[in-house]
Amino acid sequence: MLTLERPRTTAEAIDLLAGDAESRVLAGGQSLVPLLTLGFAEPEMVVSLDRCAELDDLTIEEPTLRAGAMVTTRRIELDPLISQRCGLLAAAAAKVGSPHVRNFGTLVGNLCHADPGSDLIPAALCLGAEVEVRSSRGSRRLSVDELVEGPFVTSLADDELAVAAHLPLRSPSWRHGYRKLALRVGDLAVATAAALVRLEDDTVAEARLVVGGALRRATRIGRLESALAGTVASEAAGVALATGWIDDLAGDLLPDAATPPEYLRAMLPRFVAATVRDAADPLRDEDRYGQREH
Ligand SMILES: Cc1cc2nc3c(=O)[nH]c(=O)nc-3n(C[C@H](O)[C@H](O)[C@H](O)COP(=O)(O)OP(=O)(O)OC[C@H]3O[C@@H](n4cnc5c(N)ncnc54)[C@H](O)[C@@H]3O)c2cc1C
């Protein structure tokens, strides 16, 4: 029989996970509850974090922003601290599912679920976020790359609780772009692209690029990041289109009936180039301002 435990502290939750029962952590329940209902997950015990008030904190701990395990996607979308200092994550959060899913689902739960169609995993990876993990054996910090191993597979042990995400605070010289392609509004992504660029005058000094959705797991595009460094900002999208980085990802593509490999190989470079343009092109803000005036 399934037991539900609702500890009031992180320490109690960790003690419960250290016990013999086969257990699962419940955060916002947006993914776990359907899995339980359909019988795809059959733990002996569910450890709900809903009463652990200490996991609801969003605090600046320079040089990062610490988001506790119960901070919801809605808060990530709307909190001014996030939009000012981690704008890329706020932009990605706004694309998640529906208001209902954002109100209940959590950032950390989303990372731990490791869905390839996630919006928050590529944004967190692009930002350089880390997840703080605790168990009765100690604590450790994992980069998003170390946490997410493949579709719905993470490196977390059964007794480990992810207590927070640490999001590097980025200066205003970093600009972002985030795009999502989904078959229907509210669906998980067919493809995502996250871009961060640091401009010096009109030149890209540094760039971080991630592609997700269409891959087994969200992946940084190292070849394109290097190619963009030193590029004039208005030419960055052209570089993203011309650099043959898609060949590096060929083995990791995650095609399905609606999105065959040929489609992904043709679409992704254009999709990423558009995201790079969103982030890097200094004319972009003027364009948007102009559009708003009409
Ligand atoms: C209709 C629908 C549409 C959606 N659309 C999108 C979308 O467009 N984009 C998107 O990114 N996401 C989408 N989602 C997923 C959603 O955003 C949630 O983020 C996601 O379901 C997991 O967050 P949660 O807090 O609900 O976790 P839960 O469902 O509670 O848990 C998910 C998994 O993570 C584990 N887990 C959770 N928290 C922890 C923790 N602190 N430590 C260790 N393990 C933990 C659980 O044991 C479970 O295995 C959608 C979900 C639904 C139902």
CATH number for position 40 = 3.30.465.10
| Any atom of ligand 1 within 6 Å of the Cβ of 26 | yes
Q: How many domains does the chain have?
A: 2
pLDDT tens sequence across 6-51: 999 999 999 999 999 999 999 999 999 999 999 999 999 999 999 9
109 and 59 in a single domain? The answer is yes
C-alpha–C-alpha distance, residues 225 and 261, integer Å = 23
Nearest CA to ligand 1 atom 6: 97
> How many other C-beta atoms lie within 10 A of the C-beta of residue 281?
21
- What is residue 258's predicted lDDT score, i.e. its pLDDT? 86
Coil, strand or helix at 116 = coil
Ligand 1: does its nearest atom lie under 6 Å from the Cβ of 110?
yes
Q: Considering the entire predicted model, what is its pTM?
A: 0.95
| C-alpha dist (Å) from residue 91 to 14, 57, 83, 95, 108 | 32, 20, 8, 7, 17
Q: Are residues 101 and 238 in the same domain?
A: no
Indicate if 41 and 75 belong to the same structural domain: yes
Residues 142 and 283 in one domain: no
What pLDDT, on the 0 to 100 scale, is given for residue 284?
60
User: d(Cα 12, Cα 18) in Å, to the nearest integer?
Assistant: 10
Print the domain residue range for 183.
174-291
CA of 286 to the centre of ligand 1 (A): 37
Q: Which of 115, 134, 168 is the last residue of a domain?
A: 168
Judge contact between 98 and 152, C-beta under 8 A: no
CB 278 less than 6 A from any atom of ligand 1 = no
User: Is residue 122 within 6 Å of ligand 1 at its C-beta?
Assistant: no
- Taking only the tens place, the pLDDT of each residue in 54-72 is 999 999 998 999 999 999 9
- 238 touches ligand 1 (CB under 6 Å): no
Residues whose CB is less than 8 angstroms from the CB of residue 89 and which lie 6 or more positions away in sequence, other chains included: 76, 82, 107, 120, 123, 124, 127, 129, 167
pLDDT at 289: 44
- Best residue among 5, 16, 32, 49 to mutate for probing ligand 1, ranked by most atoms within 8 Å of CB: 32
Same domain, 203 and 164: no
Ligand 1 pocket: which of 14, 30, 118 to mutate (most atoms within 8 A of CB): 30
pLDDT of residue 24: 97
Q: Whose CA is nearest to atom 1 of ligand 1?
A: 97
Q: Are residues 22 and 143 in the same domain?
A: yes
**pLDDT of res. 290:** 42
- Cβ–ligand 1 distance for 148 under 6 Å, the answer no
Residues of the chain with pLDDT under 70: 282-294
The reported pLDDT for the residue numbered 255 is 86
Same domain (yes/no): 17, 144: yes
Decide whether any atom of ligand 1 lies within 6 Å of the 96 Cβ: yes
Final residue of a domain: which of 122, 147, 168? 168
The enclosing domain of 236 has a CATH number of: 3.30.390.50
Residue nearest to atom 27 of ligand 1 (CA): 109
